[in-house]
Amino acid sequence: MKIVTAAQMQELDRRTIEEAGVRGATLMNRAGTGVVSTLEAIFGSPSGKTISIFCGKGNNGGDGFVVARLLRRKHATVQVCLLGNPAELKGDAKLMYTRFTKSSPGSKVQVNPSEKTIWAMLGKSNVVVDALLGTGISSPVKERYRTAIEAINDSGVPTVAVDLPSGIHTDTGAILGSAVRATLTVTFGYPKLGLYLGPAIDFVGQIHCVDIGIPDHFIEDLEVKSHLITATEVRNLLPSRPMSSHKGTFGHAGIIAGSPGKTGAAALGAIAALRVGTGLVTVGTPSSVNPTLEAKVLEAMTAPLPETEECTVSHAALTQMREFAKTRSAIAIGPGLTTHPETTEVVRSFIPQLEHPFVVDADGLNALVGHTDLLRVCKSMPILTPHPGEMARLIGQSNSRSINNDRLGVALRFAQAHGTMVVLKGARTIIAGPNGLAAICPTGNPGMATAGMGDVLTGMLVGLLAQGLSPWDAARAGVFLHGLAGDLAAQDLGQAGMIAGDLLDCIPHAIVQVQQEDRI
């Protein structure tokens, strides 16, 4: 599903009105209808409930007046607040205000209410609808809007945001001084980029996208390079499993990982690769920790590698690692390897020689700090899986703050500059390719913010590569399934107590779910 900027959405609206002949009022009615339908699906029948709608003077407010009129028809007690004067309303917003007031004789719209009046409205409300500010806002929220926004947030009443929460920058997800903290966001036509970036992810709640009838070929005409990964997309990427299949049909993944105290990283990756459908998995690990690893994984094979005095992979392992890689369908390198100087040199020597698809994670990424030029001479396009701290080190930044402020831009610039696939992990993981395309993952939850989750992802990615998926396809499918497995684990266990191992048993269930139904 394409993700659009404010300018792109405005262009889609314009073409739909001018070229497809759909009146702006019709689009507004569809948007309002979508809000009410979604509200009803999430919160139950509005009949008998008191619902407060806060409207601005633009088209977002016009959507709000449609919502108010339709909720009135469904026998809700509707309280409407307009931040602005009715005389300031224009076009379709003015039309919808007039329709609401005419269809609801005796209904009073609170115009520019005092803070006391706002709190009185909120005190009676079962649900709040935020239709204050739309996609056009790019400067800090004005004081009268800020007062209403802060009251809505402090009230604790479930809140439905119309198109996007007021105060969120449509393209960056930045908070423009103050923003509504929504329980549910109902967005129109196509998801807006800012819903999935920056601090906005803590403000948008559940996101539902409503079809308002924009012709499909209009979006194809725009150069939209970002999209939201969907279950349907992932289902179409997963390899088929013919009745005549055998373990060799689904590839042989090789994982180079582990060191004393860090065999868990290697074990998690190996099991995850098997759980995602790989036929064979072999883990190359320092010889002294090989027995420990063998005890942890029954279904994967191991390959003991020569080691340093500190029991990490040594220079002497390089020849064996090259032979190891030649007979594997895909390789992952990095989890738990440590940053021992000799091991780091081995990783730098090994990566440019890989001819099969490969994943670089954890200490594999650390080995590339200051040596990212090696990526431009790789024989096969790698998938890099940095978290923000690792990404900061790769680009020479001192901390991850600059990364989190521009996650999409950082990932895209690095991918294009180095010819790699970048999986920038974190809340709403981003996949960026060297061709300028990007994908954002809607799955996953805060319970996954714990040790070992990245090792599971690495195993899933190398497993999908081993089954023949391209780096772009493996990255999208693997990240989505990884997040969905985390969501399924959280349903059973809650978020606070989840550990990485909980995801392993949920990976097959995630695959079954995307094969059976759409998630978004």
The pLDDT of 418-444, averaged and rounded, is 97
Buried b / exposed e along 358-390 (16+ C-beta atoms within 10 A): bbbbbbbbbbbeeebebbeebeebbbbbbbbeb
For 248, 357, 382, 453, 498, the CA distances from 507, given in Å and listed in that order, are 21, 22, 23, 12, 14
Domains of the chain, start order: 11-221 (3.40.50.10260), 231-237+250-516 (3.40.1190.20)
What integer pLDDT is reported at residue 178 of this predicted model? 97
Q: Rounded distance, CA 126 to CA 183, Å?
A: 13
Query: What pLDDT score does 440 carry?
Result: 98
| pLDDT mean over 227-236 | 96
Structure confidence at residue 395 (pLDDT):
97
Please report the pLDDT score of residue 402 as a whole number.
87
Q: List, for residues 241-263, the tens digit of each pLDDT value.
A: 999 999 999 999 999 999 999 99
Q: What is the pLDDT of residues 182-221, one digit of tens each?
A: 999 999 999 999 999 999 999 999 999 999 999 999 999 9
Q: Which residue has the higher pLDDT, 105 or 307?
A: 307
> What does the pLDDT look like over 271-320, one tens digit per residue?
999 999 999 999 999 999 999 999 999 999 999 999 999 999 999 999 99
| Mean pLDDT value of segment 174-178 | 96
Q: What is the pTM of this model?
A: 0.94
Structure tokens at 25: 């009022």
How high is the pLDDT of residue 472?
98
With beta carbons less than 8 A apart as the criterion, state whether 283 and 300 touch: yes
The residue-averaged pLDDT of 220-249 equals: 94
Q: How confident is the model at residue 108 (pLDDT cuts 50, 70, 90)?
A: confident
Spatial contact of 328 and 253, defined as CB atoms under 8 Å apart = yes
pLDDT for 106 equals 65
Question: Residue 293 has what pLDDT?
Answer: 98
Percent of the chain's residues with pLDDT above 70: 99
pLDDT tens for 464-511 read 999 999 999 999 999 999 999 999 999 999 999 999 999 999 999 999
109-151 pLDDT, tens digit each: 999 999 999 999 999 999 999 999 989 888 999 999 999 999 9
pLDDT band at 519 (very low <50, low <70, confident <90, very high): very low
Instruction: Write out pLDDT tens, residues 350-406.
Output: 999 999 999 999 999 999 999 999 999 999 999 999 999 999 999 999 888 889 989
Which residues are registered as beta bridge partners of 130? 54, 161
Query: Residues 21, 27, 30, 34: what is their CA dihedral angle, to the nearest 10 degrees?
Result: 140
In a 10 Å sphere around its CB, with 0-12 CB exposed, 13-18 middle and 19+ buried, how is residue 201 labelled? middle
Q: Decide: 147 and 121 in contact? Cβ < 8 Å.
A: no
pLDDT 10s digits, 86-97: 999 999 999 999
Average pLDDT over residues 30-40: 98
Instruction: Report the 10 Å Cβ neighbour count for 300.
Output: 23
Q: 404 CB contacts (<8 Å, ≥6 apart)?
A: 198, 388, 426
Position 518 scores a pLDDT of 52
